[in-house]
Amino acid sequence: MASPPSPPYPAPPPAGPRRRWIAPVVAGAAALAVTGGVAVHLATRPGPAPFSGSASAGASGDASASPAALTPPGAPDVCAMIGGAETGRLILEPEVERDSSDDSGRTTWSCRWSGDFTSSGGRPVHNKITITVVRHKGDQDRSAVAAAQGGYGFDLQNGRRFATAPPEGYRHSRPVQLTGVGDGAHVRFSRPLAESGGITSAEGFSRVGDVTVAVKYDRYLRGAPAEPGLEKDALREAGLLLRQATESAAAWREGRPYARPTAVPERSPTPAPTATPTPTPVPIAVPPACTALAPAVTRLVPRPKTGAGRTREQDRTTVTCWWENPDIRSPGGLSLRAVSVSFTSFADRAGGPDHEAARLHYAERYARAVRLQREGRDPAYPGVSYGSVAELRGLGERAYSQYRRHRTPDLYAGAAGVLVLSGSTVIEIVYAGSERPEGRGVDSPRSVLLPLREAVTGVTPLAGAVVRAFRQAEPG
């Protein structure tokens, strides 16, 4: 997709009315992305139905030429959506990994092929192909097809924006739209400006009804500049991969056979995709870097419940700590106050710190924040409005803050967030709150959101304390 990291989704709770507290999870979770990646997501409402293995086809009457989706017989085998002739030509003897996740807005399946080889020029090369298939779910406000249209449109808009305002140190091509591929498709290319090597990426995006498909072809040239003609070749390869994956996804969506008989066999049996989200935040003891924050946090969140979790991915580890109190007594009723702090540390293939990956992640987040400042809202996340971006000095290598108002079926709150780049780690701090009448939940439309000035005044000194604590005791 358009640069944001793959989200770790919270496991769906069992059905049935109950009061549930959902602690903050790591950056990128779909339910929390609207607040910048790390925030508190509290809900007092019945839990959704258990994961059923397929998403709703959505309401009728959508502006899509796609044939109506039949109910697929089960989860797709994304690793069989690309022919072995294609993957084998780009990656010799690849290692294959599967992944799947589910939340209230979408179900996601992915497959990754990766491997090392030596190029014709004698240079070591690492190639990776990732295919991601997302089936979107409708809700009371929009159909599943409309949700997929919004997701595809977001990726196209991101591509156009990065072409004119790329993250520092990278060049992005303009999206090239493809014909005859689903209900819409395009590809784009990015490469580092430095001549000392790096990751070049060709990405493709498409939509078929309520399903979106993303293809990414990464080529890592160690210690060498990009080869002549690489952009043209990479875009062609991404287009071929996207066409195959989209055709297969359309067939799966309609209940037709789709598996390519030449799919590359995996080295060892891999479990079929399940409803278990991967990666999953794992509860951990509160690390010292967060324990040291107690005096600063409790000035904002009195008598909080607290906790911590860790999520590990191939290229990063995220540790998140949270403090929350949704039932603070106040003259007007009840107050919600919550703080979440996450540390996302990037690592290279050898396990060492990856400063470049952290820098790129920060640059992408900053570019998105600036766009949201300009547009005020993100069509992909109804109910959230965004304020101005303010760059901050004295916090790490780079830092910025942004305020947003969150009015969704899950949560009414004002939140101020700070994002900090510190070496190979990106730190995010969010302070959120609201006031509501007695007897109402945190999702009450009668809530009064934490004002901009109070939120920013609270989160800015807290961010300084977080950075100092991180330098003294980095969580792992």
pLDDT digits (tens, 9 = 90+) for 57-106: 333 333 333 344 445 667 899 998 988 877 877 887 788 999 999 888 89
Residues of the chain with CATH 3.40.1000.70: 78-253
Mean pLDDT check: name the lowest of 71-80, 185-194, 276-285.
Answer: 276-285
Model-level pTM? 0.49
pLDDT tens-digit series, residues 227-254: 556 788 888 889 989 998 999 998 898 8
pLDDT tens-digit series, residues 362-382: 988 888 889 889 888 876 567
Question: Which position has the higher pLDDT, 378 or 55?
Answer: 378
Name the fold adopted by 78-253: Protein Transport Mog1p; Chain A (3.40.1000)
Distance CA 462, CA 459 (A): 5
Confidence band, pLDDT 50/70/90 cuts, at residue 42: very low
Distance CA 137, CA 149 (A): 12
pLDDT above 90: residue 342: yes
Q: Which of 266, 342, 279 is nearest to 94 (CA)?
A: 266
Confidence band, pLDDT 50/70/90 cuts, at residue 467: very high
**Tokens 């919600």 appear where?**
336
Given this model, what pLDDT does residue 227 score?
A: 58
Length of the chain: 476
Average pLDDT of 186-196? 79
Confidence band, pLDDT 50/70/90 cuts, at residue 301: very high
**Tokens 């808009």 appear where?**
157
